[in-house]
Amino acid sequence: MKRVVIIGGGIVGLSTAYFLHKEGHQVTVVDKSNFTTGASYVNAGYITPSHIISLAAPGMITKGIKWMFNPASPFYMKPRLDWDFIKWGWAFKKSATQKKVEAAIPVIKDINLLSQDLYVAMKSSGDFKFHYDHKGLLMAYKTDKMGEAEWNVGKRAMDEGLKVQLLSKKQVDNLEPNANLDIKGAVYFLCDAHMTPADFMRDMLSFLKQSGVEILAEEEVKDIQNQDGEIRKVVTDKRELVADEYVLAAGSWTSKLVKQLGLKMHLQGGKGYRINVHRDTGITIPTILCEAKCAVTPMDGFTRIAGTMEFSGINHNISKVRVEAIANAAQSFYKDLVVSKEEKDEARCGLRPVSPDGLPYIGRSSKCKNAVFATGHAMMGWSLGPATGKLVSEIISESNTSMNIDSFHPDRRF
């Protein structure tokens, strides 16, 4: 048994705590939040084997520059003189090649499928009651050009063994008879599932507390003291934490923490927004609105609209322009949908940790003996939470990992 301190209480941190506890380790989770806010609570709730194309795809830099001065754009980089952001941007540009995207496809698929299996196992374990539904994912499009691009992705996914269908508008209407979608058609990924994030986080937190895992809420890590390439202790604003192993799963904040270890990690916070609609919308299947880059999810008692990737630094400022853009996009696809002013006023945001190549950082750095990194999941954080937790627990338990993790190495070069 090892004593393990996990810095970060989002989906990755709590999943790691769960699997470490199952392996018999003594676990403490520390987070500066109260475990009700952040990207793990405001995401679209997708489990997405379909998302085989990494964010760092060819053409994204061009789009980013094109959209840079449009604060309502779905992919927005706020112009700023920030050396870490500039270096990250350069690494992103070098990663956005077809060769690297192709190499990442089977890796992204495999870790998504591993995570999906783990969600199903957790749901079947009797430990939890969270909402989990396997209805697939519609990639709905309005133009033939977008439809062709999405079908190309669909065919590539089929090459990887995933089940995908190309649907006409009539076929979509048969699946979603009450949604009244204004589209030309959709690519249907039957391999995907969805959840209600807050339900899972509540259940997981309750289980961990009842199981003896120490949960330290509203406690900020101020210092990580290391010597001879090894963490000696973590100092918060309330106490000192000493352990055998330390897991850095603090999302977008991880890059700041690793600087205290003398390490450099290319990582930027990509802000996403969500709007909850607490009325019957007639929407029953999770759908991505392709031209708008928005996600719509039927959750436990409400419908969530989520979207944007905004690089504007570490902050939780709500842009009303971006909220309005998300609402307008959803209303343009769903003819009967009306998002009220009150619902827009209640919009929330979260920061997704984004690596330059769109792949997470999972594993040990050669520069720190007793630290394991678990961050950088970009828009797949919810989908990959359990798989990451399982892999980290296997690393700490010194057992064979469930999949090859070389592509996720924290020390990889860009």
pLDDT on residue 76: 77
So what's the pLDDT on residue 55? 85
Burial of 284 (0-12, 13-18, 19+ CB in 10 A): middle
Cβ-contact 253, 267 below 8 angstroms: no
Query: Residue 263, CB half-sphere, CA atoms under 13 Å: how many?
Result: 27
Q: 31-74 pLDDT, tens per residue?
A: 999 999 999 999 999 999 999 998 888 877 667 666 666 777 77
What was the pLDDT predicted at 139? Answer: 98
pLDDT at 56: 80
Question: Which residues are within 8 A (CB) of 258 and not within 5 positions of it... i.e. 6 or more apart?
Answer: 248, 264, 265, 373
For residue 162, give both structure tokens: 């995933």
User: Structurally, what CATH architecture does the domain formed by 3-408 represent?
Assistant: 3-Layer(bba) Sandwich (3.50)
Q: Are 88 and 266 in contact (CB under 8 A)?
A: yes
pLDDT of res. 57: 83
**Positions in the chain short of pLDDT 50:** none
Instruction: Output the pLDDT for position 68.
Output: 66
In the chain, what is the straight-line distance between the N-terminal and C-terminal CA atoms, in Å? 36
User: Given this model, what pLDDT does residue 248 score?
Assistant: 98
SS3 content of the chain, % helix, strand, coil (to 5): 35, 25, 40
pLDDT in tens, 260-300: 998 999 999 999 999 999 999 999 999 999 999 999 999 99
Q: What is the pTM of this model?
A: 0.96
Query: Distance between CA atoms of 11 and 79, rounded to whole angstroms?
Result: 30
Return the structure tokens found at 158: 């089929």
